[in-house]
Structure 1
C-alpha cells in the first residue's frame, strides 16, 4: 500500500529539526482557531484545505508558519495512511460584519494552507472512513474560560468517508463553514452570528457545541515531526464551565442544530474560546464531520438604545397594533403603509427593511427613502417611509405576515424594532379573454388541450383565421409555435395584429412531400394577456396531417377471374389499390402457385393478369416503396 499522498514531503530528519527550532520562533501565543475541509475536484483528486486564524495583535510574526503538516488516518484502527505538507497560499484579514464597529484589540488573519491529494479507491475503501488532523501550539494567553491558555494547543480535525461504497465511486466534499466572525459581543446584550455552512453535494448538515481539541503539541514543541493519531486530549475548562456552558450568560453560548446560528448573551467580559462541530449526513447516515475552534471577545459597550417605529394605514388614525389588527387590501383601495421611525441615541443611522414571514411572492416595496440619520445637526428627530403592497399581491384568503424592521448602526450589532403586520390581500378580478378560430371545433367533451386533427391534401393551400377579444381591455397577443419544429422551415405563415382588448391573426400553409410525418405537425396557437396580475391565456392545439390529393377508396381486390374470352372478368386488375403518395408508391405485384412457384410479376400498378393457362387458386403479393404489403388469393376458373 502506498501511504504517501504527495511527493516531495520533507524528510523525517528535516521535520525533527524544524520541531527542535520551533520554540525559538514561536514563543508568543497566536492561535485564534481554524478548520479543515476536503473538496472533490476531479476523478480521485481532492483539495485539502486548512483555514487557520491568527491573532495579528498579540501573535508573534515569527510564528506565522509557511507550511504545516497534516496526517491522514483510518478511523477503525488509527492506522496512518500518509503525511501531507500544506503550504501557505493565502494571508488575508477577517472582515468585520460592520467595519465601523472595528475594535483595535481584535485583528485576525486568515491563513490558508492548501494541497491537492489523490484518494485512490484501492486504498481508501474502509467502511468506517478516515480522519485528517493538524496539530499546533499555542493559544492566546488572554483566553478567559480555559486553564493555562498560554500552554493550550489546538488540533484541527475532520472526518471523511471511503471513496468507494458497494463497488461504486462514493464522492463527497466536506461541508464548508461560513466565514468566521471578527466581531465582539457586549456584556449583557444578545449577540448572534451565522456560523452555518454549505455542502456542494446537498448533504444534510447538523451543528452542535463541542469542547475544543488540545492534542499533543506544547510550548516546548509547538510542531511535531508528524501528526499523532487519535485520540486527542481536550482543553481544560475553568471550574463551572463546560461543553454546554462555554461562554456563560443568559442564555449561554448556543448553536442552532439546523441553521448553525450562534446565540449568546454573555454575563462576563473576556476572551472566550469555543468549539463547533458540523456533522454531515447522506440518506440518514453520518458520513463525515468538521470542527471549528474560534474565540469571541466580550466587552463592556456604550449603551445603544433600541430604535422605535410606528406603522399607520390610511384607513385608521391610530397606529397599527400587531396581534390585533389585520389589514384588508382590496382592489382600488389604498395599499400603502406610512412608517415613522426614530432612535433616542444621537447621530443614529436608521435603515428600514421588510421580511415576508409566511409568503414569498409579491413582497411590498418602499416607495420613499428608507434610511437616514436622526438627532444630528440639521437632521430630524423622526424619519418617515412609505411601504406599498403591489396590486397583484394575493393571499388567497389566508392571513399573510410581514415583518417591518428598523435597525440602527450601533455596535457591536445593530438594535432593531420589529412590527409584524398581518394582512389579507385580493387581486383585481380578471375575466378570461375569448379566442375564436375557423379551425374545426374541438372534440366534445374536450380533454385539456386536446388537439383537433386537420387533414390537408398535398399541393393544396389551407388557411385559417384567429381572433381574440378581452372584456377587461387588457393587451392581447396571438402567437403560433410548432411543437418540435420551426413554422418557417415548414413554410407555415402566421401573421398577427395584436392590440388592446383585440387581436387578429391569419394562418396559411401549402404542404409538400417534405411535410409528411408519421404523427403529423402539431402547432400551438396561443392568445396571451399582458398586464393583469394572473394572465388567463387561451390555447388551441391543431395537428396537421398531409394526405393524398385523391381520397382513397376501400381496397377490395377480386378473388375470382374467368379468362374465357367473354370480356367479363377475364383478367385480374386492382384499380382500388392505395393511391401513390410521396414516398408511399406502388412497387410491384407477384403471383404464385399454391406450391410457391412464381408465375407472374409486374412493376406497373395498371397490370392485367389473365391467369397462368390453368385453373386453380393462386396467391398474390403487392408491395409499396414504404414497406407496406398486401397479400391475398384469387381463383382462376377456365
Structure 2
C-alpha cells in the first residue's frame, strides 16, 4: 500500500500519565474539495480539570482503509498520520452536583481542527471507504471503570468511518454526523435522568444511535512500510454487555432515533460508555461516528437521620394555637453542610407560593409542612412533621363600614365588648373622619384585653374612602334666545350625571349636554361615582336680548337723528360702550348708556367720517363690534 507520509517519532516523546481526564471524545469528517484532495477533520475532546490534554496544542489522527483487517489481524494498519491544531478551549456549563460535600470537577471542551490534503485518496481502491481514528496521547484510563475489568493502562481509540471517495468514477461528497455539545457528566444514584445526545447531518442522511463497545489501544508497532496499532478490546465486567453498559431500573438505553440516553442507575461508580451514530443514505449504511463517554454515578442517597421536627421559637411543636390577628414563626432546625437545598412550605397539602425559606410566618389556621429537596445538590428530600395551626377567634367584634365618601362627616365606630381601643388612620377616639384618612383602603383595628390563651383580642375592618367627583363648570352662561349652547363639565369624569330640570336639553344624562333655551333658566347637575359619592352644582343660563345699533347719525343741529341712539340698551345698565377713531384712539367710553353719543368729545365736534365701536352688554357676553358714520 502506498505510503502517503513518513512517520517521524511524533508519539515517542509522549509521557505516560495516569488519568481519567478524558470524559468524552468524537471525530468529524468533511469533504471540502475532492478534486483538490482537501478534507476537514475535527476532534472534540471533553476534558476534566486534571487533564494533561488541556494544554496540548496538537492532536494526531490516523487514516486507515476500512477493510476490517483489524478484526482478522488484531492490529490497525494506517497509511496516513496528520496533526490537528487547537481551535478553541472553553469550560462547559454544568449543573452543580456537590454530593456528600464533594464538588463536581470542571469539564472543558477542546476542539482541534485542520484541513488535510490527500490528493491520492480518491484514487485509492476502497470498497468500504476509510476510517479516521484518534488515539489519546497523554492520558491512559485509570482502571476505575466499573463496567470493564481491564480499562487500566489503555488509551482510547475513537473512530469515524466514511464512505468511498469515488464510486463508479463519480465523486461522493460526505459530511459525517456532527454531535452537539453535552453538559452532563455526573448523575445521582436512584435518579431517573434523560441525557440528550443530539446529532445532525449536513447531507440530510438518516441517523441511527446505538450502544457500542469502546476500543482500547495498549501499544503501537512501527514498520518501514506499514505502521500497526494493536487493538485490545475492553473486557466487560460481569453483568455488562454492549447493550447493557450500566445497571439500573431502567438500565441505560439510547433512543435509536433521537439519541436520548435514559437511565436510573442503581450503583455508584465510573462508567465508560460507547455510542455509535450511524448514517444511512437511501437505506444503506455509509458511515459511522463513535462517541466515547465517561459517566459518573454518585451515591446521593446515603442514609441520614434528618431532624424532621418543626420548631416555634426553640420548642418542637405539632400543635400551635394563635390568636386571630396574631402571627407565629415556624422553622426547621436541620443544618446542611453543603449548599442550601430547596425549601417549600405547604398548607393543607397545597403549595404556598413564595414560601421557599427554611422558616415561615403564619397567621392562618391549617396543616403546615416543610418539604426539603435537592440536599447537597442531589435528589435527596424529606418532609417535615405536620404542624396543625388553630386560630382562637378574637372576642372583639367590630361593625363593618360600607364604602364612604371623603365628604362624609365623621362617623362613630362600634365594637363589642366595650372598653377596647380603636386605632388606624383617621381614627380619633371612637370616631373615624374620612376627610383625615383620605382616599383609599384603610384598616381600622379594635383591640381589647382577652384571656390568658389569647392575651390581646383584635378585630379588624377595612374601609374604602372614595373622593367625591369634582365638577368644573361656569356658574353663568349667556346666549341668545333659542341659540344652542354647551353647558356641561369641561373634562369627562367616570361618573353618572343627572341634570334638572331637563327643559331645553338634548339629554339630561350627558356630561356636557346642549341647551337651546327660549328663556333664562337655572340648571342643577348632580355627579355620582361608583361608590355613591355625589357633587352638585348650578349653572345659570341668561338670555342676551338684541339691541338696535344704527350705522350712522347726523349731528348737524336740525333736530333729527342728532345722537347715536341704541334702542334696547336700557335693559343693560352695566353695559360698556366704546368708540374709536381711525387711529384706534378711544374718543368715547361709558358704563351704561344713559347719555347717548352726540358726535362731540369734551364739547369739541368730531369730524365727519367712519368710527369703530365695541359694545359689551354684560360681563360675560360676547362683544358686539362694527362701524358707525358721522354725517354733518
Q: Establish whether TM, by shorter chain, passes 0.5.
A: no
TM-score, length-normalised on structure 2?
Answer: 0.44
Larger Rg: 2
- TM score, norm. by length of structure 1: 0.43
